[in-house]
Amino acid sequence: MLKFVLTKIGMAALVALTVSFISFILLFMAGDPAIAIAGEGASGKVIAAVRSQYGFDRPLLVQYFDWLIRALSGDFGMSFYFKTPVSGMIAERLPVTMTIGFLGMSFALLLAIPMGVLAAAFPNTLIDRLALGIAVVGQAIPSFWFGLVLIVVFSVNLGWVPASGTRQWTGYILPMIVLGYYATPAIMRLTRAGMLEVLSADYIRTARAKGIKPRRVLFKHALRNAIIPVVSLAAVQLGFMFGGSVVVETIFALHGAGYLAWESISRNDLPTMQALILIFAMFYIAFTFLADVLNAWLDPRLRTA
Amino acid sequence: MKLTKTAAAAALLPAFLFATNAWAGKSDDTVSIAFAKELEHVDPYFNTAREGILLGNAAWDGLLYRDPATGEYVGNLATSWTWVDSTTLDLTLREGVKFHNGEAFDADDVVYTLNFTVDPKNGAKNKVATGWIKRAEKIDQFKVRIITNGPFPAALEYLAGPVIIHPDEYYKAVGPAGVATKPVGTGPYKFETVEPGKHFVLKRNEDYFAAAKPKAKVGTIDIRTIPDINTQMAELFNGTIDLVWQVPSDQADKMTGRGSFQVINAPTMRVGYLSLDAAGRSGDKNPMTNVKVRQAIYHAINRDGIVEALMKGTTEVIDSACSPSQFGCDTAITTYAYDPAKAKALLTEAGYSDGFEIEFYAYRDRPLAEAMIGMLAEIGIKANLNYMQYAALREKRIKDGAPISFMTWGSNSIADVSAITSEFFTMGGEDDARDKSLSDLLEKADSSIDSAERKTLYAQALSVIADKAYWVPLWNYSTNYVMSGDISFTPTPDELVRFYEIGWK
């Protein structure tokens, strides 16, 4: 087991390193960071001054390793754009993204799993069609539009929640729904497919023949096996939510890490971008790892794999 | 099912009509404002954003002030000033002024602020603001001397604009990092809350000395960053935001006549232009090196047509390579009417009767770029659009030039042509003309402190640019302000939202 964990961690570090190097190169290819830092109204002289001040005139590899050595000691440097330590900024903004990420995922699971189970229990009925309909709509409508519709209905017309910001806790409700609904279709379909497969298995027939209550068969015996691929998918989705909540954070003016990532890309704020990429990659890896552990607990056969 | 943003907004707008609720506003003397982007740092020397200029103007003071109505310079933290010689400016300071933290204002504050900002090791970002200053010296407690890096007649414009004064004792103690969360100035508003990038609360400075700027009319200004324009509109309907600007025309049109909103369109100092590679930097066989081809392009672009069809509000066609609101922007120059037949004739004279293919670069306003490309096609020029990020395009222009670039420039709100014409025609990285005699003219104008002489020299330079068609000046840009019905505010052409001028009806 220890070897298994160590191998996983080693792989994770390698993935994170590769991701950080590729992103570093890509960021430089996206335009001269000196021009981006100097700002839109900067003169040529100013741009040249910035270039030497930030050391952009050094070879790319030198710059990368310089960053890496400092990052490994926990120093992500100063943000080019905000002129404050990157670590402090991320520490301040990550909780917002994590909050809506976990809320959104909880919302998605609470909505998608029961729907998937019911759709599989009553295939080709109205319930099944309704569940699939909700999933199709979820995949079809763009997040920004859905978010704006919710703002118009629940904030502007009904006045139940604020349109943006999190000065009141109710400000989290709409972002949670938008982010969660986006993840719902995939989870629901996978649950339904898994359940359909499991429900036709021999051991379920046996369980039913033994006279176990249908609800118990459905949720204890069948769901436990059907949920395994869902756990892996949810982990990936959650990782995506952390890095990809840009749209939701922009619409609801939440100032989380997702919006910060988008801003640092558009402003060539290398230190911030690099730190965020590293952290998002770590989250992905951590969630995937946790999903493996959870699956091993759910299915003893996976423990030897 | 996929709806475009605009269609969606249009479909949803009727729903807005039933909106009723207002939290902040006249009743608690608070104007709520939305910023569209996160301000990187509240210290005016550590940001290059318009939002930063607005906060700088509200919470700090400059040595001088330019009256937006008359364009005249008046004393602010300084009461009088004299040029000792072409690089030495002496200023007498106002006595009895106090910073928000109670610190008294005197020469030490001026000397410290300017010398700190000029020193490259302090990493000030807004290098444009003080790049012209060599150093500042204290003469006595209320007299300072500014030494410039060379003759710099636009100095007064800068001292009335981006150059603000910090309290030296406080600044020394906390540094830029401390100022980022607890800024202190002398201005009509003081900061009560700063959540960097996200939220700023300004309270009226009841003890403001109000020599050049008036005392603030409104007690509290509450600013939140809301990046999405649709969300900004929703907040306006909710009454949780009272004022936004830079609203796209289609959104502004929808807001007109809804509820009690006021929609005002006002010009800005930003201008659009086509820069043509006359110097042949992007290849010496480049047709742009031929003056007749450049003139043909000028005649081919229907600027009035584009402004009428695609740009709304107070946008106007410009003829000189500067913003008409700037000092020295002479408009008595050669103009080129829209005349495709003449354009074709010029192309034939230049030896391109069958036209040619060329690369066209742009970084914003894609529909406008495409309209111009269509007009070039009509005279036989096949222009291929290369649409890039701003930083990438400027990098390309500085490194190896581009045959035709559609660019814009806002001059950092500096009302002086040295901030635009001299920036692009004095042999710098983006000088597509590389015309030595033109460059010399501008250098001479930039370093003269006789304003009549400057005007004459700039007029000559602008005339050369027009005759040789180095640029195709296009139009100025305007911006839309949308505000709640209670607010009384008149925008100015410098796009500077002076918070202390906002009042209640």
CATH number for the domain that contains residue A217: 1.10.3720.10
User: At residue A4, does pLDDT exceed 80?
Assistant: no
Query: Does A83 reside within a domain?
Result: no
Query: Does A105 reside within a domain?
Result: yes
Looking at the complex, report in whole angstroms how far the Cα of residue B200 sits from the nearest Cα belonging to chain A.
14
A19 and A113 co-located in one domain: no
A48 and A162 co-located in one domain: no
Domain boundary among A48, A73, A98: A73
User: At residue A298, does pLDDT exceed 80?
Assistant: no
Q: Which CATH superfamily is domain B268-479 in?
A: Dipeptide-binding Protein; Domain 3 (3.10.105.10)
Chain A residues within an 8 Å CB radius of B24: none
Two tokens at A298? 């759910």
**pLDDT at site B16:** 41
Chain A residues within an 8 Å CB radius of B40: 81-83
Question: Which residue type, as a one-letter code, is found at position A271?
Answer: P
> Nearest residue of A to residue B14 by CA position?
A152
Query: Does A184 reside within a domain?
Result: yes
* Beta carbons of A41 and B430 less than 8 Å apart: no
Query: Does A78 reside within a domain?
Result: no
Average pLDDT of chain B, as a whole number: 90
A35 and A180 co-located in one domain: no
Q: Which residue has the higher pLDDT, A6 or A247?
A: A247
Chain B residues within an 8 Å CB radius of A42: 48, 127-128
Number of C-beta neighbours around residue B246 at 10 A: 18
A63 and A207 co-located in one domain: no
Sign of CA dihedral B280, B282, B283, B288: negative
**pLDDT at site B22:** 42
Residue among A78, A156, A265, A269 with most chain B CBs within 10 A, to mutate: A156
Residue B473 near residue B271, CB atoms below 8 Å: yes
Alpha helix stretches (DSSP H) within B119-238: 127-130, 155-159, 168-179, 229-238
**pLDDT at site A1:** 62
Task: Choose the closest CB to A152 out of B2, B16, B412.
Answer: B16
A38 and A187 co-located in one domain: no
Looking at the complex, report in whole angstroms how far the Cα of residue A47 sits from the nearest Cα belonging to chain B.
10
Task: Choose the closest CB to A152 out of B3, B180, B234.
Answer: B234
Helix A126-140 / helix A86-121 crossing angle, nearest 10 deg: 150
Looking at the complex, report in whole angstroms how far the Cα of residue A32 sits from the nearest Cα belonging to chain B.
6
- A245 close to B (CB below 8 A): no
Looking at the complex, report in whole angstroms how far the Cα of residue B350 sits from the nearest Cα belonging to chain A.
33
Q: How confident is the model at residue B1 (pLDDT cuts 50, 70, 90)?
A: very low
> Nearest residue of B to residue A153 by CA position?
B15
A117 and A8 co-located in one domain: no
Chain A residues within an 8 Å CB radius of B120: 49, 53
Task: Choose the closest CB to A31 out of B224, B225, B389.
Answer: B389
A122 and A28 co-located in one domain: no
Task: Choose the closest CB to B389 out of A30, A137, A251.
Answer: A30
User: At residue A122, does pLDDT exceed 80?
Assistant: yes
* Beta carbons of B429 and A42 less than 8 Å apart: no
**pLDDT at site B137:** 97
**pLDDT at site B499:** 96
* Window from A168-177, A206-215, B77-86 with minimum mean pLDDT: A206-215
Query: Does A160 reside within a domain?
Result: yes
A178 and A46 co-located in one domain: no
Domain boundary among A13, A41, A73: A73
- A38 close to B (CB below 8 A): yes
Q: How confident is the model at residue B68 (pLDDT cuts 50, 70, 90)?
A: confident
Q: How confident is the model at residue B399 (pLDDT cuts 50, 70, 90)?
A: confident
> Nearest residue of B to residue A248 by CA position?
B228
**B330 Cβ partners below 8 Å, 6+ apart?**
B320, B455, B458, B459, B462, B463
- Number of structural domains in chain A: 2
Residue B238 near residue A163, CB atoms below 8 Å: yes
Q: B30-242+486-504: what fold?
A: D-Maltodextrin-Binding Protein; domain 2 (3.40.190)
A10 and A123 co-located in one domain: no
Looking at the complex, report in whole angstroms how far the Cα of residue B322 sits from the nearest Cα belonging to chain A.
14
Q: What is the mean pLDDT of residues A38-44?
A: 69
Helix A270-298 / helix A86-121 crossing angle, nearest 10 deg: 40
Query: Which residues span the domain enclosing A226?
Result: 90-302
A161 and A228 co-located in one domain: yes
Residue B106 near residue B141, CB atoms below 8 Å: yes
Task: Choose the closest CB to B48 out of A41, A84, A253.
Answer: A41
Query: Does A85 reside within a domain?
Result: no
Residue among A35, A45, A96, A167 with most chain B CBs within 10 A, to mutate: A35
- CA distances, B115 to each of B136, B158, B279 (Å): 6, 15, 39
Query: Does A84 reside within a domain?
Result: no
Chain A residues within an 8 Å CB radius of B15: 152-153, 156-157
Fold identical between B30-242+486-504 and B268-479?
no
A265 and A122 co-located in one domain: yes
What are the structural domain ranges in chain B? Answer: 30-242+486-504, 268-479
**pLDDT at site B3:** 37
* Beta carbons of B128 and A43 less than 8 Å apart: yes
* Beta carbons of A164 and B234 less than 8 Å apart: yes
Q: What is the mean pLDDT of residues A214-219?
A: 79
Domain boundary among A19, A40, A73: A73
A267 and A147 co-located in one domain: yes
